[in-house]
Structure 1
Amino acid sequence: MNADLSFRSGLKDVVPTLFGYIGVGLAMGIVANTSHLSVLAVLLMSLIVYAGSAQFIIISMLLAGSPVSAIVLSTFLINSRMILMSMSIAQYFKKDSLWQNIGLGSLLTDETFALSMNKINLTDKKLRPQWLHAANIIAYLVWAAATVVGCLLGNLITDPNQFGLDFAVVGMFIGLLYLQIITDRSKSLKTQLLVVLFVAIAMYFLMRFVPGNIALLIATLLGCGFGMVVSPK
């Protein structure tokens, strides 16, 4: 990764994260197949919903016969963290049009957000629409393709966990966190590790009382506040 913010650079920068999309996408497609969803249904879900964890929940709720209102509400809560991410990244596109921002925000994911946070450490806190569009679009297409392939392979693979596919996204985020820590020179290593430790501890205790996705949202907010307190003025 370098300071280039061109469309081609966006294509190159997003490549390492694609392995996470492929692993989780294959697992999602396999689960969908074993739940008797058609390939077309899986493709449309990936293109319209485009949310890994939410798609797993949607499949289980469909099988349980849950009402549409409950499915919509659950999906919103699971992805509510994207509100925080979108607000954080919007400041870098204030000079761009509303439609540019809508396009960027619609396809923003955890991975492309983290990629953007790493990129700004190399570009003097700057981002350009063409760079993020490239990263978002490639991630979007790879995710959809991976879920469809997983669905087609569903009859051959009964347990995706035996291949470690469930760990793919975790491993990817560990790598992104490492890159963030080593490239962000605006904050000391000690401060960054303190925030990471605080969020990890907060998640540990919060998950005892609230669902995982809500715990993640609360821990993120608490981590932001803690980071403001411990960061040198």
Structure 2
Amino acid sequence: MLQTLKAQCRHPEFRRGAREMAGITLGISAWGLVTGVAMIKSGLSVGLALLMSLVVFAGSSQLAALPLIASGAPIWVIWATAFCVNLRFIIFSVQWRMYFGHLPLLQRLHIAYFAADLNYVAFLKRFPEAKPHPDQAPYFWGGVCLNWAAWQIPSIAGILLANHVPTQWGLGFAGVLALLGLSYTLLKDRKTWVSAALAGCAAVAAYALPLRLNIMVAIAVAVTAGLLMEHWSPSSAEAAREVRE
């Protein structure tokens, strides 16, 4: 695995993946810093906070679990909350499988750990056709290596310097802006625009649901809308044939 990664680091697509992630690392870093600070200020020890940052590596589920940890909630509630918040990765993994399903299990486990929202969006933008290609793995590792470092270094800094970084700065919103900016580039046709709009409306309408289940509602609405539009609207080839006839 190490030799394979070294070979991919020399691939031009590795540098391209890192370069295309570089523009949004500021938002990722700000988000990581705030999460690190929040872990300490919620009552976690430095050791546990470091372990959580390195092992969990999922900012949204970490932030969702922290208030529950601070309030002494049962462990099953904490696990259930983190699971619900991260259910979107099941959808991501279905898409990833079309690109990396042929790889050995160990490599797929490494990919699963490092995969993140912004890397998913950037990867699909670079490789819209869902089939394996030799350039995909180097591009993926170039992006996720930079993303992992951009998250973990500020997160660890926030853990170690929690008493010197006020949470009132609101830096976490920078990560949200980075995600919105990158997601906007994928809205390329009517189907994606409608799915995104419906997902946003569903997330707001279901905001009162516990455990951030409004995220799952938004994902379900977007996927359902996309599948229905795909089923009801004719494909481009069929439309072209009908025009010729």
TM-score (norm 2): 0.79
State the match for 1:101 in structure 2. Answer: 108
Matches within 5 A, 1:1-233: 6-121=13-128, 128-158=136-166, 160-161=167-168, 163-181=169-187, 184=188, 188=189, 190-208=190-208, 210-211=209-210, 213-231=212-230, 232=233, 233=235
Q: How far apart in 2 are the matches of 1:142 and 1:151? A: 15
Tell me the CA shift for residue 152 of structure 1: 2.8
Q: How far apart in 1 are the matches of 2:211 and 2:43? A: 27
**C-alpha spacing 1:147/1:191, structure 2 compared with 1 (3 Å):** same
Amino acid across the alignment from 1:217: M
Identity of aligned residues (%): 23
**Rg bigger for which structure?**
2
Structure 2 gap ranges (5+): 1-10, 236-245
Tell me the CA shift for residue 124 of structure 1: 8.7
Count, aligned residues: 221
The 3-state SS of whatever aligns with 2:164 is coil
When the two chains are superposed, the root-mean-square deviation of aligned CA atoms in Å is: 2.5
Tell me the CA shift for residue 48 of structure 1: 0.5
The answer to whether the 8 A contact 1:195-1:227 is kept is yes
TM-score (norm 1): 0.83
The answer to whether the 8 A contact 1:77-1:213 is kept is yes
Tell me the CA shift for residue 5 of structure 1: 6.7
Q: How far apart in 2 are the matches of 1:11 and 1:225? A: 33
Structure 1 gap ranges (5+): none
